[in-house]
Each structure stands twice: as structure tokens, then as C-alpha cells.
């Protein structure tokens, strides 16, 4: 892992100090490929929500759109701690891109309406709306989730995408001298948790599944308008939400075990999700519509292993583990990071693929079967010995040994195996 990646994780773990414009403390984005041969979104106006995190998908996506010729970028987030620094960074690297900072709740309709209206009024067009805002919610069994927590999850993760589609779609259908043809791309951030169960808490998974449904249903209701709607479903990605997983793995020297559930055998980078968002926002994806793009290293392509996910949540959430269970759990559970100890922070962030058993049961769980097998073998051995001894006792006879001349030479108790012999021999 390059030093820059370690710096990114360390920076997030200690929460970068708020800065209005300084970019010196921002971690570098780990790029997975070089720049495109030609600008892929030249002249487009792009709105991105959820861009505050220094390690997040939103910031990485903003850089991809800026590098590929976007005319204007709107960096939006409820938390504005790092927005100014991100904007300054992009302006310094790409002076031709006009960067706007907007602080608002992506699930507040008036705020979404206003940012869309500003783009149309200022530039006469809106081409891309990347609805990336979201939360992860508390780690809890669904029976322990409050109504307020569930509705907050739906409001932030689903309503924000719905409002983006509701107000961006009409704006994208407007034409002007700057945009003679109607059309645009709306992108929602979902998750593999929305595709398969056992990859997140119930509220989080339900919310991400709803994002996929919003993309699919709105794409049909926008038929013939030129506006496309798609969802991106990230797997285990190295972002602010998974910082605890990566930091713990590096501290224990088990970083290579991260992402072992997928065929690529690694976790992903925010830049890899950002490049998919760039593709979906460009004209290169002009025939891609109503789809859920799983970007998970192939995790969702296979069948799940036996899972201990629910049991782990129950034990950790309710604090029911006794000392013996606490000792066994790190061996019994090997989730995506290879660290049973970080299953709680992973669940708290609601990210990552399913936490499944990756290898054979631990030795502790094989003790009882082994004892039973040994006992059976001992019983079989005893039975064999008893049978052999019994046969010998049954076959004991006392014979008189006589000499060749018919005289008694000696008397002896000689045990022999019983067998059919002529009567004269007895």
C-alpha cells in the first residue's frame, strides 16, 4: 500500500482540522488509472451531494468530473467542514472548472430545488446529478431499531435520491443555446446491501434497495425524455465509513485479508466508484438506463457462505457473550476484513460485504465431535478384546498327553482353541 493511502486513512481517523481553503492537509486520492485520453464530460454541469468526506466517493467523483472537462461543479453536503478545502483543491488543479459550494440537507426539498434552479439559471443547463449523500445508522437488530432511526435512514438515503430525480429530471429536459438537446444522467449511490441480504443492517439494506427501485421505476417514467437514471452499488470500499476496518487491519498486519470474500481478493478504492459515476454521467453510457451497477469485486456474483452475521449482531448488540463465547468468536467469525474484533465498527458504519465464515470451523468447535469419535473407537476396541477373550475361554479344554507307547507321560492343563476333532483325541 503506497504511503499516500496510509496517510489518507490516518488523516480521517484523526479527523482533519477544519480549514476554509487550505489543501495541504487533504489526503491524496488513490488513483487506479491514468487520465482519460480526452475529456469525457466536456462542458457539462454537475451536481454532487455527499462531498465533504476527505476519503469519500463524492470528493473522488468531483475530481474525476473536473479532470474530464466539466464546466461547473456543485459540491454539496450537510456537513461543510471540508467543502471549502475541496473546492480550493479543484480550482487550483483545474482553473477552468467553476466550483460552487452548497451546504444543505440533501433530503430537504427546497434546498434541492434551489441548487438545481441555480445551475439552470447560471448555465442554462443541468447534465449530471450524482445523489451520493447517505448515512449508515446505528448497529442493531431490526427488533431493536426505533421508528425514528428507521425513518431517518429512509429520509437521508432514499428521499435524497428521490428529490434529486424529481427536480433534476425536469431541468435536464430543458434546452437552450448551451444545450440544444434534452437529456441528462441521474445517479444514486446504493450498495451491495441493496442487492443481497446479510451485507448491512436491516434499515440500511432496505434503504439501499429502495434507491435501486427509485432508479428503475423513474427510468421508465422518464421514457423518451433522454434522461437516464442508474444506481451504483459499491462493495467494501476504502472510505471514511470503513476507516476503522482498514486501520484495525493495518495495526494487526492483516490488511491483505480485506476483501477476501470477492474474487479480486481486495477492497476497493473511492476512485474506482468515482470512475463508474463518471462513465454513467458521460455520453459513453448513453444506452445504460435503469440499472444497478455492482462495483464490488465480484462479491454479488456468487452464492453466500454460511453466515454468522445475525448472531454476531445479537451477541454484540445485546452484550450476551460470555467469556467463552468472546474467546471463540474471533476464531469463528472471519468477515471481509479478516478481523472479528472490528465487526462492530463495520456494522456501525453499515458497509462492507456479508460477514461470513471463510474457513473450516475452528478447533474449539471440533472438540466435541473428536471426543465422540475417540469414545466410539475405544468402545469398538473393548468389544473386540472381549470377544477374543471370550472365544479363548470357550475353547479351553484339558487334555491328557500320552506318550507314544500308550503310557501316561504327564498331566498338563493346556488351553487350545476349540475345534472339531475326533472323539478319540479327547
Per domain, the residue ranges of the chain are 3-301, 365-425
Residues 255, 249: contact at Cβ < 8 Å? yes
How high is the pLDDT of residue 221? 98
Query: Of 74, 123, 204, 355, which one is the catalytic site residue?
Result: 204
CA 360, chain centre distance (Å) = 22
CA distance linking residue 308 with residue 262, whole number of Å: 18
Identify the burial level of 36 via C-beta atoms within 10 angstroms of its C-beta, where 0-12 means exposed, 13-18 middle and 19 or more buried: middle
CA distance linking residue 101 with residue 103, whole number of Å: 7
Question: Cα-Cα-Cα-Cα dihedral of 413, 419, 423, 426, to 10°?
Answer: 0
How high is the pLDDT of residue 425? 47
What's the sign of the alpha-carbon dihedral 310, 313, 316, 318?
negative
Report residue 33 as a C-alpha cell.
488509472
Q: At 209, is the secondary structure helix, strand, or coil?
A: helix
Give the bridge partners for 233, in sequence order: 294
Residues 210, 246: contact at Cβ < 8 Å? no
CA distance linking residue 356 with residue 347, whole number of Å: 13
Residues 88, 23: contact at Cβ < 8 Å? yes
How high is the pLDDT of residue 366? 54
Q: Running DSSP on this structure, what letter comes out for residue 395?
A: T
What's the sign of the alpha-carbon dihedral 370, 373, 375, 377?
negative
Give the bridge partners for 129, in sequence order: 47, 186
pTM score of the predicted model: 0.68
CATH code: domain 3-301 is 3.40.50.720
How high is the pLDDT of residue 369? 67
- CA proximity to 2, closest of 23, 27, 30: 30
How high is the pLDDT of residue 60? 97
Q: Which ranges constitute the DSSP H helices of 181-223?
A: 202-221
Q: Cite the beta strand spans of 108-222 per DSSP E.
A: 128-131, 184-189
Residues 139, 344: contact at Cβ < 8 Å? yes
The length of the chain in residues reads: 426
How high is the pLDDT of residue 24? 64
pLDDT per residue, tens digit, the chain (426 aa), is 444 544 543 443 333 344 445 666 788 887 767 777 779 999 999 999 999 999 999 999 999 999 999 999 999 999 999 999 999 999 999 999 999 999 999 999 999 999 999 999 999 999 999 999 998 888 788 999 999 999 999 999 999 999 999 999 999 999 998 899 999 999 999 999 999 887 788 999 999 999 999 999 999 999 999 999 999 999 989 888 777 778 888 888 888 888 788 889 889 999 999 999 999 999 999 999 999 999 999 988 886 543 444 444 444 444 444 443 444 333 333 333 333 333 333 333 333 344 333 334 455 545 666 777 788 888 888 888 777 776 555 454 333 434 444 444 444 444 444 444 454 444
Where b means 16+ CB within 10 Å and e means fewer, 261-275 reads: bbeeebbbbbbbbbb
Question: Is-catalytic flag, 309?
Answer: no
How high is the pLDDT of residue 64? 98
Amino acid at each position: 500500500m503506497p504511503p499516500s493511502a496510509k496517510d489518507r486513512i490516518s488523516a480521517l481517523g484523526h479527523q482533519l482540522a477544519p480549514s476554509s481553503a487550505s489543501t495541504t492537509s487533504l489526503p491524496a486520492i488513490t488513483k487506479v488509472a491514468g487520465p482519460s485520453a480526452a475529456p469525457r464530460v466536456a462542458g457539462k454541469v454537475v451536481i454532487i451531494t455527499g462531498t465533504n468526506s476527505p476519503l469519500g466517493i463524492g470528493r473522488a467523483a468531483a475530481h474525476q468530473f473536473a479532470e474530464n472537462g466539466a464546466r461547473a461543479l456543485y459540491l454539496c453536503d450537510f456537513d461543510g467542514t471540508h467543502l471549502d478545502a475541496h473546492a480550493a483543491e479543484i480550482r487550483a488543479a483545474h482553473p477552468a472548472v467553476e466550483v460552487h459550494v452548497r451546504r444543505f440537507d440533501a433530503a430537504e426539498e427546497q434546498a434541492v430545488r434551489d441548487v438545481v434552479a441555480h445551475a439552470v439559471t447560471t448555465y442554462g443547463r443541468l447534465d449530471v446529478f450524482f445523489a451520493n449523500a447517505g448515512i449508515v445508522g446505528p448497529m442493531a437488530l431490526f427488533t431493536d431499531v426505533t421508528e425514528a432511526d428507521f425513518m431517518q435512514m429512509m429520509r437521508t438515503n432514499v428521499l435524497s435520491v428521490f428529490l434529486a430525480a424529481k427536480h433534476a429530471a425536469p431541468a435536464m429536459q430543458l434546452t437552450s443555446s448551451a444545450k440544444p438537446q434534452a437529456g441528462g444522467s441521474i445517479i444514486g449511490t446504493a450498495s451491495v446491501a441493496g442487492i443481497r441480504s446479510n451485507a448491512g443492517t436491516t434499515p440500511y439494506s432496505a434503504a439501499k434497495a429502495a434507491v435501486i427501485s427509485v432508479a428503475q421505476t423513474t427510468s421508465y417514467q422518464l421514457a423518451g425524455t433522454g434522461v437516464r437514471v442508474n444506481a451504483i452499488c459499491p462493495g467494501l470500499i476504502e472510505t471514511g465509513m470503513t476507516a476503522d476496518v482498514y486501520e484495525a487491519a493495518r495495526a494487526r498486519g492483516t490488511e491483505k485479508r480485506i476483501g477476501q470474500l470477492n474474487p479480486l481478493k481486495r477492497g476497493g478504492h473511492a476512485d474506482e466508484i468515482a470512475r463508474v459515476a463518471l462513465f454513467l454521467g458521460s455520453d459513453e453510457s448513453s444506452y445504460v438506463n435503469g440499472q444497478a451497477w455492482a462495483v464490488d469485486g465480484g462479491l454479488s456474483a456468487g452464492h453466500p457462505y454460511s453466515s454468522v452475521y445475525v448472531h454476531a449482531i445479537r451477541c454484540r448488540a445485546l452484550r450476551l457473550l460470555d467469556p467463552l463465547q468472546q474467546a471463540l468468536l474471533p476464531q469463528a467469525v472471519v468477515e471481509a476484513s479478516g478481523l472479528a474484533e472490528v465487526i462492530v465498527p463495520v456494522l456501525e458504519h453499515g458497509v462492507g460485504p456479508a460477514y461470513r465464515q471463510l474457513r473450516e470451523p475452528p478447533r474449539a468447535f471440533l472438540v466435541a465431535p473428536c471426543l465422540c469419535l475417540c469414545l466410539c473407537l475405544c468402545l469398538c476396541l473393548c468389544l473386540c478384546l472381549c470377544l477374543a477373550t471370550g472365544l479363548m475361554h470357550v475353547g479351553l479344554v484339558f487334555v491328557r498327553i500320552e506318550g507314544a507307547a500308550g503310557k501316561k507321560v504327564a498331566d498338563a492343563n493346556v488351553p487350545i482353541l476349540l475345534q472339531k476333532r475326533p472323539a478319540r483325541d479327547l
